[in-house]
Amino acid sequence: MLAGHTILRIIGRGGAATVYLARQESLNRQVAIKVLRADVEDPKVWRRFLREARTLARLSTHPHVVTVFNVGRSDDGQPYLVTEFLDRGSLGDVIAARGPLPVGSVVPVGHAVADALQAAHDLGILHRDVKPGNVLLDHDGRVKLGDFGIARLLTGQSVTTTDVIAFTPEHVAPEVLRGEPDGPWSDVYGLASTLAEALIGAPLFTRRPDERVEALLSRKLMGPPPVLPATVPAALAQLLARGLDPDPTRRPSLADFRQQLTEAATEVGAPAPLPPPSPAPAAPPGPAAVPTPAVAGATAFDDESPNAPTGGR
């Protein structure tokens, strides 16, 4: 498929792309290779694919952004993206396995993601899809933000209907659902929503079967503030409530959010490592399974994410 790489197994599959775990022979390291399906001919998908690669390349020197190694077309013409492989899966995996996470584990993750977002914003890039499934982890304790598949430059353009379909409803900001311009304030909402889910153990909002966007928007606008565990310090609870404010003008800036997250952390004490996901049940003989979200952008184009959220309002 790709010269110099040995495909080990499939680790993710969706509506438009397949993701493989591979070994890069020259450096003897594992990498993730995301390949567009041969039957996907929509030029918009290819443009989104290339946009993700270029965005990651601009941010790859940041310690909390997934590193991209290469992008191009294989000998048979299929577009591919090669990134680092993070072997522990995603924050979403940990939440699904463990439920609510300790405050001392969640706050450092928030710092890392805020740093990654700030680096992106400093380059004029919006992530637009901050969620637990895109916060990737490895066994060395590193936290990295991945999946820039629907990122865009800070141009102030309006959100299109196609954009709304591509967003993750559980974590998208209300202004996006209204079709209004998104901005750094929208990434703040996604970060606050992600941290709240980690503390609660379930999404704040789950899109119901056949629920229209307007109905989901109404619930986000009218719903009460999240009820966080009693172990969450008041300052942190207030910060998340502000980050989740339906009115983007009342949300803190990303810099203020990170600073206040640091201040709230003083009430928590020493940071704690994230608990490992529960051991997987015994599988029948065959290729070993690898957590799908460990691949940057594994669901960038997909409506068929293997990690469908549960719970929520």
Write out 243-279 in H/E/C secondary structure.
Answer: HCCCCHHHCCCHHHHHHHHHHHHCCCCCCCCCCCCCC
**Exposed e or buried b for every residue in 209-248, given b needs 16+ CB within 10 A?**
eeeebeebbebbeeeeebebeeebbebbbebbebbbbbeb
Q: 37: how many CB neighbours lie within 10 A of its CB? A: 16
Active site residue 129: yes
Contacts of 195 (CB under 8 A, 6+ apart): 106, 109, 110, 240
Q: How far apart are the first and last CA of the chain?
A: 44
| d(C-alpha 34, C-alpha 174), whole Å | 31
Mapped onto helix, strand or coil, the DSSP state of residue 164 is helix
Contact 298, 18 (CB under 8 A): no
Contact 190, 114 (CB under 8 A): no
* Catalytic residue (one of 129, 147, 182, 187): 129
**Exposed e or buried b for every residue in 279-291, given b needs 16+ CB within 10 A?**
eeeeeeeeeeebb
Contact 293, 136 (CB under 8 A): yes
DSSP string, 211-226: --HHHHHHHHHHSPPP
Active site residues: 129
